[in-house]
Amino acid sequence: MSVDLNKLIIEEALKGLSNGDFSSVDLVKSSLNIISEKEGDIHAYLEVFDDAIEQAKKADEERKNGGKGMLLGIPLAVKDNILIEGRRVTAASKILEGYVAPYDATVIKQLKKEGAIFIGRTNMDEFAMGGSTENSAFGVTKNPHDLSRVAGGSSGGSAAAVAMGSVLGALGSDTGGSIRQPASLCGVVGLKTTYGSVSRFGLMAMGSSLDQIGPFAKTVGDAEILFKAISGHDEMDSTSLPDDFYKTESKKDKLVIGVPRNFIFTEGIDKEVLSNFEKSLNLLEKSGAEIKDIDLPSLKHSLAVYYILMPAEASTNLARFDGVRFGLSEDGGDVLGSYMKTRGDGFGREVRRRIMLGAYVLSSGYYDAYYNKANGVRALINDDFKKAFSSVDIIATPTSPVPAFKIGEKSEDPLSMYLADIFTVPVNLAGVPAISIPSGFTEEKLPLGIQFIAGHDREGILFELGKKFESIRE
């Protein structure tokens, strides 16, 4: 039977599967039908797995035999920088074209244990470097709401896959906003988790002190289900938090929401974004929340700090892609020539730009002037958040300073592209969790999102406020 995935969420799908209203095979066939219908225009996927229906048959059999997986039979998509054993994974780069993952990422092991079905791997900016998915070596992903506009990045494929209705959820990675920004631009929910709450083992690293895997979903409740499935301590990840890090917290009668107006209401922020943000705050206040102005003085330095630390870490992490151990290998006549030809042909322009920038700030004579100074300012940003969370429960900002922009509009101006991360980058520098939730549309019917930020290990309060916000917006 045909199932309308556009109107279905994970919570309802699990009930329908349990009640026998439809099967996992029905869900997957509906998913593949939507992909067949829309993928040619949107290009959310780099590969649709040819064994998806076989996966669904196994899930149906498991359910008949009493299987209780948290996501048993639910179709999901996975960003192309997360390893699935035996499947190709390229980080949307030619330097890894044809590479096959030798093992499962920890999050994939957890999802397999919970019975999830993997529909395919999604498009992204090459090695997660970009905010529009225009930097993919395999073509741009288009926004399902307007095919002339970007889906955001770097996890644009995962956001578009959920927004187009082809899957009920997806995984992405977030280094400076790469889940939340495309979620906002595509009108879905995107969660950046507390640093260390979700294992990074099996994620191709860009900025190791910044990267986090997280979910895309249609609702906050679905994002919560996915978070519970993938979070937890992992001995394979040295930055993984212990299982007892999370504490149960009781619901508060009145949440205090901090708003850093001096940081938000500045030049370059779209007027419709600001208007929608104010309307969202008014709704929250009418529903019983207290809105409180706060000051985060060091946040104005966040972008400068991020674009020193992230390229430095990326240049180190990408040194492994040299044409010797795996992936593309070009003959340059000698060892150095082969390195240069392989990396020159294999890496795209944005990746080469960030590698060079990172190598520069780590070089002799500049390490202290740039990298160490940036780490010092990062500590100040952390202190700003700690002080703020001593008086508020949540911090609210727009997710993106602009709605989805035209394809090609910012591709020749990297600084303009980097500015799109202004509200998301501070979260990664501090390692705290944040969620982007759809908050309305522009006059041109482009999605907008609001970002809620919480203190370390407080995803629970994000889910609480997020569900409340969804209910008062309806």
Active site residues: 79, 154, 178
Q: Which residues contact 134 (CB under 8 A, 6 or more apart)?
A: 125, 140, 150, 153, 407, 408, 411
Burial class (CB in 10 A: 0-12, 13-18, 19+), 335: exposed
Contact assessment for residue 431 and residue 454, using Cβ atoms and an 8 Å cutoff: no
- Residue 208 CB: number of other CB atoms within 10 A? 15
DSSP state of 364: T
- Residue 268 CB: number of other CB atoms within 10 A? 10
Burial class (CB in 10 A: 0-12, 13-18, 19+), 68: exposed
The DSSP secondary structure of 5-57, one letter per residue, reads GGG--HHHHHHHHHHTSS-HHHHHHHHHHHHHHHHHHH--EEEE-TTHHHHHH
Dist. CA 168–CA 172, nearest whole Å: 14
Nearest partner of 448 among 278, 238, 249, 306, judged by Cα: 278
Contact assessment for residue 464 and residue 287, using Cβ atoms and an 8 Å cutoff: no
- Residue 326 CB: number of other CB atoms within 10 A? 15
Pairing mode of beta strands 169-174, 212-217: antiparallel
Contact assessment for residue 34 and residue 7, using Cβ atoms and an 8 Å cutoff: no
Q: Which residue's structure tokens are 């205090």?
A: 256
Dist. CA 111–CA 118, nearest whole Å: 9
Nearest partner of 70 among 197, 199, 229, judged by Cα: 229
Q: Which residue's structure tokens are 């190791």?
A: 208
